[in-house]
Structure 1
Amino acid sequence: MPLDPPTPARAPSPELLRLAAEGARNIERADQRQQELGEQHMRVALGAHYGSARQRGLYVPLVVGAVLVAAMASGFISVDYMTAGMAVLLLGALGVAFLDPVAGDARVASERAWLAARPFPVRGYFEALQQRPVAGAVLLVHIRFAGETPPLDLVQGVLGRIDANPSVRSAGGRGLVLQSGLISGATGIRVNKVPVYRNHRIVPYVHRLVDEVLAPLHATYPIDQVELTRPV
């Protein structure tokens, strides 16, 4: 018995095509916003750790305002300038306290150059900085060795130099997974009573992890690859 010919696929209506295109644009805009937000998180983390030119510039009105107020209090300048002096002082203080310390392109490039110069590839560092800051972040360090894997207690001991609450487990084969203790994202800043968190302490943690833990291990047990992840 001959088979019936397949029914041709129904073409979507113009309205359905319009809705699909609108949804695709909405998804694209959301992805773009997420990428921009991640870039901001990363730059703020680096700027908070190393300092940023934008925030350093705000120390100028802070110092000028403080000098004016001190001079008026000592009688060197007329108290008629008190309002101006206090305004300048307040501007600097608020800026230093609440303006995000965003790192510039040169600082980001310098950090990428540092990472690229390590004796083994380290992936996921900038992605970890781009994630949403939280009160306490955890890093998972996936290590693949080129040959022999070091004993777990040895790795735990070396890692304990920089982290008092780590854990180390085998990932099978030539792999190990290191888990950090909580890395604080606290800043002491509150906006409308809501605490502000940043990823700034991840920066020195990863530097010490790579240079003081993984590099010494690599000298005896060559590392093929390192990948950092942050559980959501």
Structure 2
Amino acid sequence: MTVYRINYLARRHPQWTHAAWVPRWRRHWRLAEPRPESATVRRYIQCEVLHDADPVPHDGVASAEYVSLAARHANRAAAGYHRIMRQDEVQVFDSLIADCSFIGSHHVVFGAGTGPFKVVRFLKRRASVAAGDFVRAWRGLHGARMIEAWPAMLSYAQNVAVVPERPDGWGLNVDGSEELWFDALAPAVACATSETLQRIGSHLFTVTATVVTDEVILKDARDPSA
């Protein structure tokens, strides 16, 4: 079964310091958690950004994994639920989640797909590379090269952007993202800032953002036997 996730890369509302923002961000999930629509999500992860070289650093990365394709459609169609969440978003983030997110199919290429720290890269395919060729090369040889480059890496996964729901595309204008997990912060930062990471895949895509995060799983209702 194909697994679908909405992924977002967010900055905090200017009214918050980063330290004050993180617990406020956690409360954003607590607003969603008791609502019936939260049953469409079987796994929800908030990742605080710990390192970001962007001149305007990001503050958080989050992923919500849908129970099924039907659950994804039901969630996206729940207008009342999203209206409530958007009302809170304007107090938490510097832009709405719809403007900094994309939905993708999630593929764990190596390892367990989790860990204490991870590097997340957001990717935009080069105009010279056809969409189909990009996916085939990224999910094929590129993934193998990433695993080979970092023997200490715990796990590696890819999120392949699906066809956008709106005519103007996803708010986060990417073709996908990739996640590399490590057991400590230092090797994750070393990976994120390495020339090797910048070089691998550069013929296929440009990198719109690279962040190092922790990983806090706030909900996990997956079948452990799956």
TM-score, length-scaled by structure 1: 0.33
Q: Which has the higher strand share?
A: 2
Q: Which has the higher helix share?
A: 1
TM-score, length-scaled by structure 2: 0.33
Structure with max Cα Rg: 1
